[in-house]
Amino acid sequence: MPCYTMTQVTVELKNANLDLLAQAMTTLGYQPYRTGNMLTWSGGFYDQKRGTLTVQQESLVNMIKKAYSVTCLEDVARKRRWQLVRKKDNKFSVKKGY
């Protein structure tokens, strides 16, 4: 590929909560910036209106989805007063009550 070519990967990510997605991006080391229905960071953006996530590196898509899933789990566990215990990288155990 020529050095002046820029690759972008766009995937569907419908109905994502912008606050939770921003929190997930922060855990990945990015500094997201929210403007209206858009969330931008260096290397990509999320358009909530269209439900699309666009990034410059394909490997970043799965990392974002995993981080967003973990953030959503933590948010629900916090709201319902559940204890979330990480068993492995992507395996969790949930206990009701603290």
Tens digits of per-residue pLDDT, 27-83? 999 999 999 999 999 989 999 999 999 998 888 999 999 999 999 999 999 999 998
Radius of gyration of the chain (CA): 15
pLDDT range class, residue 91, cuts 50, 70, 90: confident
Q: What is the pLDDT of residue 92?
A: 86
Measured CA to CA, the distance from residue 47 to residue 42 in angstroms comes to 15
Name the band, by pLDDT with cuts 50, 70 and 90, for residue 1: low
Q: What is the pLDDT of residue 8?
A: 82
Task: Kindly indicate the confidence band of residue 98, based on its pLDDT and cuts at 50, 70 and 90.
Answer: low
* Core vs surface per residue 51-85: b (16+ CB within 10 A) or e: eebbbeeeebbeebeebbebbbebeebeeeebeee
The pair of three-digit structure tokens given for residue 51, joined into one six-digit string: 């439900």
Give the pLDDT score at 35. Answer: 93
For residue 88, CA distances in Å to 24, 85, 93 come to 18, 9, 10
Euclidean distance between CA atoms 25 and 18, whole angstroms = 10
